[in-house]
Amino acid sequence: MGADFIRRVAAIAHIETLLVIRDKRSLGLAFILPLLLLILFGSSLSYDVKNIPLAILDQDRTPASRALIAAFQGSPYYHIVAIRKGYPDLIRDLDRGKAIVVMIIPPDFAKRLSRDQEARVQFILDGTDSTTAGISLGYIQGIMERHNRTLRREAAQRSAELPLDLAVRVWFNPEMESRNFIVPGLIAVILMIIAALLTSLTLAREWESGTMETLLSLPLRPIEVVIGKICPYFAIGMINITILLLTSRFIFQIPIRGSIPLLYLFASIFTIGVMGLGAFISGAAKRQILATQLAIITTMLPAILLSGFIFPIHNMPLILQGVSYLVPARYLIRAIKGIFLKGIGLSVLYPPLILLAAFACFIVWLAARQVPRQIKERKR
């Protein structure tokens, strides 16, 4: 039984491989599109905000105020676009978008510092871009905190230590580079979309060409048809994974600290499951255009919105948090980030591996059941 099963699956896979090879445009697109998507989105998507336009109104014009300005001037996060002489110029800079942040140093700034009094500095942020404004606020607090520490040391004439010494270390992504967690997530999202698209045409093509009845009149079981049709695309998926991993490592310089074989294990199980989803959609839709549209809707939107790729899952409403457990990209993103950045192994990642394997088995079984049901409906 085992040998016959393998022989029949291999026969279906051979036929499907010939069809894939003949369609050279689609085959080339299957290899080029994932690479283009990774390079395009990996280069353009970034949560790192640098060179924020900053306009300054220095009403004090003392060494103390110039030292504060120098603290912002030496930061890579801010670019001083103008030092103004009055409020109307600052408002004009904000209105025209020339500045996103303005800093106003009051005329008694140095005098209050010399008396050991609190000296206030006003910052006005353009809130039309809330993301940039929120990140910029964090940068301002960090720069001001460092400047405060410098002033305290100078006031103590470097003879007394500060009461608190804050030591902060960032693990796994010390430089806080957004591409280090965006690119691994992109790999999962791109793989999910491409894998489903590749197999969304397999059964629908048989329906449109009228060969489905002929195929199922042969001594083949539906599960053998589905697995045989998935096999060639699984090979393409493995090549795509290799291309994406090499691109992320050598072009985007993302470290891979964990086990590469474990990474391939997760990716291969994930690919089987998503290709089974594509085959299920293909069998249900019957038409190639409809199957393609359904594959995009059922993969792209959940993979981007509900997988934790862009939006943290713990910030979602409880209903959407529950729905996210049904999105396989959620588990692959967790595994890829853990293997890439943390170097963790199977002892930590076995729960998502089990869930991915369960999803793959269930969806392939569901796709196989779709085939005979469609035949019965077609014969009525």
Mean pLDDT computed over every residue of the chain: 84
How far, CA to CA in Å, does 265 sit from each of 196, 197, 234, 244, 334?
18, 21, 13, 15, 14
- What pLDDT digit, counting tens, does each position of 85-128 carry? 888 898 888 888 899 999 999 999 888 888 877 888 999 998 88
pLDDT(165) > 80: no
Query: Would you state the pLDDT for residue 379?
Result: 45
Ranking 167-171, 228-232, 306-310, 320-324 by mean pLDDT, the lowest is 167-171
Ranking 75-79, 197-201, 231-235, 269-273 by mean pLDDT, the lowest is 197-201
Query: Would you state the pLDDT for residue 168?
Result: 57
pLDDT classification of 243: cutoffs 50, 70, 90? very high
- What pLDDT digit, counting tens, does each position of 121-162 carry? 999 998 887 777 888 888 898 888 888 888 877 766 544 444
Distance CA 245, CA 261 (A): 12
Query: Would you state the pLDDT for residue 119?
Result: 84
Domain architecture of the chain: domains with CATH: 2-46+177-379 (no CATH), 52-155 (3.40.1710.10)
pLDDT classification of 200: cutoffs 50, 70, 90? confident
- What pLDDT digit, counting tens, does each position of 326-366 carry? 999 999 999 999 999 899 999 999 999 999 999 999 999 99
pLDDT classification of 204: cutoffs 50, 70, 90? confident
- What pLDDT digit, counting tens, does each position of 264-281 carry? 999 999 999 999 998 889
How far, CA to CA in Å, does 91 sit from each of 65, 86, 223, 227?
21, 9, 68, 65
Ranking 27-31, 60-64, 140-144 by mean pLDDT, the lowest is 27-31
Q: What is the pTM of this model?
A: 0.78
Distance CA 334, CA 185 (A): 8
**Exposed / middle / buried, residue 108 (Cβ in 10 Å: 0-12, 13-18, 19+):** middle
How many angstroms separate the most distant Cα atoms in the chain?
95
Query: Would you state the pLDDT for residue 261?
Result: 95
pLDDT(287) > 50: yes
